[in-house]
């Protein structure tokens, strides 16, 4: 047999009955990498509208962010279930994964920051009123982490399916609500109104919750699992804050203080979003330790 790897991929690939280090080369009858991943659909979903070279970066940056957000939502839904079921070790693992995904999205801004103002200006007229502000998955991410705002559902009326998912998420307990319910189940007194279902606004600081978490942090030995849960949540919120900050800094770098395509005042709107606190008590208690 003289069909050993030739060291030259072109040569090896060109021969009939070719071989390459034992790898399967014929996929006429079996599932390949691209089949499994649906790559034909993913890689044919980039449709620049402008003649500008840089629009491809803009599209891929958003699409990859959406894929990572999809994974974060997948993980966070399971985190919520696991906390509800008092099954914390898997929740820790998943929360760590979500925080690392967020870290990665923080670094992804470096790639987008290679886009200069003239490059963005060339594509902006083609974007119409479309904006990340209308990202359905991003809104779901905010909601599942407790930053809820029913006014923002309207954007999604165009897609009844997305709207219904967001509506459900708006009324469901957030991941943090589940953590607060776990505090209560663990014997910490939590005000009944904080445990009542159906909150549809952002999480606001509750003194009983703050006192409960303070109790956890003051006796970590006895409340190690709750302490670990709290720190995992703080890790995630910290990474999310960095993402928000890199977003607004990149936006200022690229469009300055122009209004956004989504209709807000632009960078100053995003600056206001830096004040969002997802898990208020976990940050407030630190002053008292």
Which residues are part of a known binding site for heme? 247
* CB closer to ligand HEM, 176 vs 213: 176
CB of residue 240 vs ligand HEM: minimum separation in angstroms?
11
CB-CB contact of 260 with 266 (8 Å): yes
Chain centroid to CA 181: 24
CB of residue 26 vs ligand HEM: minimum separation in angstroms?
39
CA triplet 78, 234, 142: central angle to 5 degrees?
55
Instruction: Calculate Rg over the CA atoms of the chain.
Output: 24
- What is the pattern of x (binds ligand HEM, CB under 6 A) and - over residues 126-165? -----xxx-x--x---------------------------
- What is the pattern of x (binds ligand HEM, CB under 6 A) and - over residues 89-118? -----------------------x--x---
Cα–Cα distance measured from residue 232 to residue 234, given in angstroms and rounded to the nearest whole number = 5
Cα–Cα distance measured from residue 126 to residue 130, given in angstroms and rounded to the nearest whole number = 9
CB of residue 142 vs ligand HEM: minimum separation in angstroms?
7
The site that binds ligand HEM (CB under 6 A) totals a number of residues, namely: 24
CB-CB contact of 244 with 198 (8 Å): no
- Three-state secondary-structure class, residue 50: coil
The encoded tokens of residue 97 equal 């994964």
Query: 3-state DSSP: the chain helix, strand, coil percent, rounded to 5?
Result: 65, 0, 35
Residue with tokens 């203080």: 257
CB of residue 69 vs ligand HEM: minimum separation in angstroms?
7
* CB closer to ligand HEM, 170 vs 230: 170
* CB closer to ligand HEM, 86 vs 121: 121
CB of residue 141 vs ligand HEM: minimum separation in angstroms?
8
How many residues are present in the chain?
A: 289
CB of residue 8 vs ligand HEM: minimum separation in angstroms?
41
Cα–Cα distance measured from residue 215 to residue 138, given in angstroms and rounded to the nearest whole number = 33
- What is the pattern of x (binds ligand HEM, CB under 6 A) and - over residues 258-287? --xxxxx-x--xx--x--------------
- What is the pattern of x (binds ligand HEM, CB under 6 A) and - over residues 191-230? ----------------------------------------
Q: How is 4-26 classified by DSSP, letter by letter?
A: S--S-HHHHHHSTT--STT----
Query: Count of CB atoms within 10 A of residue 55's CB?
Result: 21
* CB closer to ligand HEM, 148 vs 194: 148
* Residue set of the binding site for substrate: 58-62, 120, 124, 261
The encoded tokens of residue 74 equal 């997948």
The binding site for ligand HEM (CB under 6 A) comprises: 61-62, 65, 112, 115, 120, 131-133, 135, 138, 247, 251, 254-255, 260-264, 266, 269-270, 273
């Amino acid at each position: 047999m003289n069909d050993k790897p030739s060291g030259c991929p072109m040569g090896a690939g060109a021969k009939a009955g070719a071989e390459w280090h034992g790898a399967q080369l014929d996929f006429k009858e079996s599932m390949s990498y691209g089949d499994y991943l649906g790559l034909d659909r993913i890689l044919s979903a980039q449709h620049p509208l402008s003649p500008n070279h840089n629009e491809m970066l803009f599209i891929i940056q958003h699409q990859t962010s959406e894929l990572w957000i999809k994974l974060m939502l997948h993980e966070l839904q399971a985190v919520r279930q696991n906390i509800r079921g008092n099954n914390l070790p898997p929740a820790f693992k998943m929360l760590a994964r979500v925080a690392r995904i967020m870290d990665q999205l923080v670094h992804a801004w470096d790639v987008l920051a290679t886009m200069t103002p003239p490059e963005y200006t060339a594509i902006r007229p083609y974007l119409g009123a479309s904006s990340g502000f209308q990202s359905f998955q991003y809104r779901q991410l905010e909601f599942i982490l407790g930053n809820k705002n029913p006014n923002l559902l309207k954007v999604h009326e165009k897609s009844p399916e997305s709207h219904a998912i967001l509506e459900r998420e708006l009324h469901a307990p957030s991941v943090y609500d589940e953590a607060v319910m776990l505090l209560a189940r663990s014997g910490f007194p939590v005000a009944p109104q904080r445990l009542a279902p159906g909150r549809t606004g952002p999480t606001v600081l509750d003194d009983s919750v703050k006192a409960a978490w303070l109790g956890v942090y003051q006796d970590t030995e006895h409340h190690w699992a709750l302490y670990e849960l709290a720190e995992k949540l703080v890790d995630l919120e910290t990474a999310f804050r960095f993402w928000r900050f890199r977003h607004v800094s990149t936006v200022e770098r690229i469009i300055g203080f122009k209004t956004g395509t989504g209709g807000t005042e632009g960078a100053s709107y995003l600056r206001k979003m830096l004040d969002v606190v997802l898990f208020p008590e976990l940050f407030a208690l630190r002053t008292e330790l």
